[in-house]
Structure 1
Amino acid sequence: MTNMATAQQVSLIGLGAMGTALAKALLAGGHEVTVWNRTPARADALVADGAKVAASSAEAMAAADLVILCVLDDAAVREHVEPAATGLRGSTVVNLTTTTPEQARALGTWAAARGIDVLDGGIMAVPEMVGGPDAFVLYSGAAAAFERYRSVLELFGRAEYVGEDLGAAAMYDVSILGGMYAMFAAFEQGGAMVRSTGGSAARLAELMTPFLHAMATLLATQAPGIDTPADFVQVQSDEFTAAAIDLIDRAATESGTSTELYGVLRRTLTGL
């Protein structure tokens, strides 16, 4: 728990499942937390833990130098911060709402003109994971603000700063999620394929999970091919990879479960 001598006054806007988890982590860390939500009843349990409830989002944001937003979308963020701009001058706003990189940059441009520091964040966890060892949150934007409040932000999970470009955290966020959805899509396809032989998706999951864990360790060896392609020597040629994917696609066709998935993978990985 945070030493009460270093406790911060923090305001949190938005008490959905994720916002509530963030508020609980702040309270457990010994900070003075003011919350606001459109549905006031969602704050009741937090009040029992020591949170204060503001009558409006503007009142909540005026109560602290560190303001965290976890709301529906970029439009909701703007709905709250724009009318409160004067009161936010000199404060740090940490936007943990899921937005696009350009939306994050636009918020930063708006805030900078009004003397407001902004950090954009991407939460790589579900609410139940917040504050646990497997949770981490990506941050980008004002480096000095990140360092100033790092001990607070670490309460949510490992705090990973990815650059001053405000769009960086969102771009890392969607890139990681893209990898997750690609994996799910491949499992969905594979599950249908093995069932055509009398197998099961459950058995496939047992076999695929440890293999994918091992393969994930190879991502770092592939990174130079993207970062410094001129100096990268491929272990496996594009032609070999394309042929392997073609074989998988043929097996999918034979199973009666053919989709566009493997064609997309072939073009993305090999350009062929």
Structure 2
Amino acid sequence: MTNVTVIGLGAMGRKMADVYIERGYDVSVWNRTPERAAGLKAKLLDSPAQAGDLVIISQVDYQAMYDSFGEADLTGKTLVNLSSDTPERLREAARWVADRGGRLVTGGIMVPPPGIGTPVSYVFYSGAPVEEHREALSVLGDVQYVGEDPGLAMLYYQSMLYIFWSTLTSFMHASALMGSAERLLPYAGAMVRGLAEDGPMAFLPILAKSIEAGIYPGEENNLHMQAVGMEHIVEASRDAGLDTTVPEALKDLFHQAVRLGHGGDGLASVVEAIKAGSRRG
């Protein structure tokens, strides 16, 4: 069975170490503050340079990896970094690890600490191939290898987090507007479920198909009408004394798509305003 070293013992890293220990792996750990290792049935290393051949990293960002390993020789080591950063920094990190003789697998784990190692856990990986260590990585969750580009895993991870955070933030705002989260919950839950299922509210697959084709039918529900609806939400939020930062941003985005000529198109045409980005002017 593979020896595993876990670098970084925050909530995520400590849970990963716990899961590996529970599954019978020989685990070593390192953290800048060694007190974090208290209670773990793992060998505490004096330095990351002492890490084994499979190294799981859970730190605040990729700079922390550079600071931790310094100029250590990484020959023969596979570093699996599950920290957050930008895709371009992950690509730079892959070159940094290779220059020191190692291989970098980048990743993003898609559950909070209590979910690690459970059937619902899955992890996006990219960069160096994972087959050699697939069994060990599967301990953390289902292995989703998305490609050789070291930045890909972070693109998937951040895309999913953006959906997660923006959806929950909109529920928070709607709850404040409604004056009750509990009264709104059954309706919001049904809507969220319906977005991905078959039926008239299955907007996720509908939008995905439209975006891929670049065709945005709006005969039944055009964007101009929805932009006006967003104006009303902003006004209602303001009347209720709520912060309007998020609904204002959505209203502005809708109207930007209308100005680009998509007023008669469907909701999916908003993606054209998003992609225009810095090209506006």
TM range (shorter): 0.7 to 0.9
CA shift for structure 1 position 98? 1.0
Match of residue 158, structure 1, among 123, 135, 142: 142
Provide the residue aligned with 2:40 in structure 1.
46
Correspondence 1:100 to 2:86: yes
**Which residue of 87, 111, 117 maps to 2:103?**
117
Q: Counterparts of 1:228 and 1:235 in 2: how far apart (Å)?
A: 11
Alignment match of 2:188 (pick from 201, 208, 215): 208
> For structure 2, which runs of at least 5 residues remain unmatched after alignment?
258-267, 274-281
Deviation of the 1:178 alpha carbon: 1.0
1:57 to 33, 44, 48: 48
Deviates more, 1:10-19 or 1:185-194: 185-194
Q: Return structure 1 stretches of 4+ with deviation > 6 angstroms.
A: none
Equivalent position of 1:270 in the other structure: 269
SS at match of 2:222: helix
1:139-158 deviations in Å (ceiling 9; x for gaps):
11112xx1111111111111
Give the aligned partner of residue 17 of structure 2: 23
**Superposition deviation, residue 244 in structure 1:** 2.4
Q: Which residue of 1 aligns with 2:27?
A: 33
> Is 1:178 aligned with 2:177?
no
1:193–1:252 CA contact under 8 A, matched in 2 = no
CA 1:205–1:54 in 2, change beyond 3 Å: closer, same or farther?
Answer: same
| TM-score between the two structures when normalised by the length of structure 1 | 0.83
- Structure 1, unmatched stretches of 5+, are 1-6
TM-score, normalised relative to structure 2? 0.80
User: 1: CA distance between counterparts of 2:55 and 2:232?
Assistant: 54
Cα pair 2:230 2:251 within 8 Å, conserved: no
Give a deviation string over 1:37-95, Cα, whole Å, max 9, x none: 12222222212xxx111122222x2xx111111112221111123321x2x11211100
CA contact (8 A) 1:122 1:169 kept: yes
Q: How far does residue 265 in structure 1 lie from its aligned partner after superposition?
A: 5.0
1:134 corresponds in structure 2 to: 120
CA distance in 1, matches of 2:34, 2:229: 57
Q: Structure 1 residue aligned with 2:67, among 53, 70, 79?
A: 79
In structure 1, what is the Cα distance between the partners aligned to 2:208 and 2:167?
18
Aligned to 1:225: 210
- Quote the Cα distance in structure 1 between the aligned partners of 2:63 and 2:107: 16
Give the counterpart letter for 1:75 in structure 2. Q
How many percent identity over aligned positions? 34
Q: Determine helix, strand or coil for the equivalent of 1:128.
A: helix
Q: 2:23 corresponds to which letter in structure 1? A: G
Q: 1:253 aligns with which of 230, 235, 244?
A: 235
